[in-house]
A and B are shown apart, each in its own frame.
Chain A
Amino acid sequence: AQKVTQAQTEISVVEKEDVTLDCVYETRDTTYYLFWYKQPPSGELVFLIRRNSFDEQNEISGRYSWNFQKSTSSFNFTITASQVVDSAVYFCALSVHTGGFKTIFGAGTRLFVKA
């Protein structure tokens, strides 16, 4: 069975602080994909990043960076110099080959960035 765990329910930071959102996944498949999605207060989920299980290279996109470690089954997301507009719920997600590549989501981490 596949599972995504986001242990942090809520995080509150002050603007310009760095913040890391944790994601731990479970699967026995060797072929899988990991995702992060953002759900702003407006409600619509927006794709942020996708990684496949064969590519452990970390990625940086502006103030966002992602750290994928297969050894610990983690795919953590860091926001550098957070801004108020980063306030949202962030979901980590997983899709696996034997699951028909359907995407399952973690419970999400609500991030509050205070001015």
Chain B
Amino acid sequence: DTGVSQDPRHKITKRGQNVTFRCDPISEHNRLYWYRQTLGQGPEFLTYFQNEAQLEKSRLLSDRFSAERPKGSFSTLEIQRTEQGDSAMYLCASSRRTVENEKLFFGSGTQLSVL
């Protein structure tokens, strides 16, 4: 396994700009998750995919957030019209759902700072 890869590692943007993050899961992992983590908190669930299907989106996720996983491989998370409250670490994780609840493998995250 080459591990879960996230790009970029850091992103600084101005309020109102759009940003896009990319996640490359471990190959053959069919589940892909996005979480958001702020300082001193646990990862907060945003959304997840099984293959290319987005199964659930958190109610906490406003319409400014959108995620895709075309062809069931890599995924992108886009935030439109960023706000200072969007500043956080965005984590991607993947798992192999051959047996329910395989463990999650996490990437190193993308740290977003909105100025």
List chain A positions with a Cβ less than 8 A from chain B: 4, 6, 9, 33, 35, 37, 43-47, 50, 52, 91, 93, 95, 100-108
Contacts and interface: CB of A to CB of B under 8 A. Distances in A.
Contacts, number: 57
A107 B41 contact: yes
B101 A43 contact: no
Interface stretch (B66-74, B76-84, B105-113): B105-113
Contacts of B108: 43-44
A26 B91 CA distance: 24
Contacts of A43: 89, 108-109
11 contacts: A33-B101, A43-B89, A44-B107, A44-B109, A45-B43, A52-B101, A101-B100, A101-B101, A102-B56, A103-B33, A104-B45
Interface residues on B, range: 20 to 34
A105 to B, nearest CB: 4
Given A33-B101, A44-B107, A102 B42 contact: no
B85 interface: no
A4 B42 CA distance: 10
Q: Return the 9 tightest CB-CB contacts between A and B, nearest first.
A: A105-B42, A47-B103, A45-B106, A33-B101, A105-B43, A107-B42, A108-B42, A91-B42, A44-B108
Given A107-B40, A108-B42, A47 B101 contact: no
A47 B105 contact: yes
Contacts of A46: 106
B48 interface: yes
A41 to B, nearest CB: 13
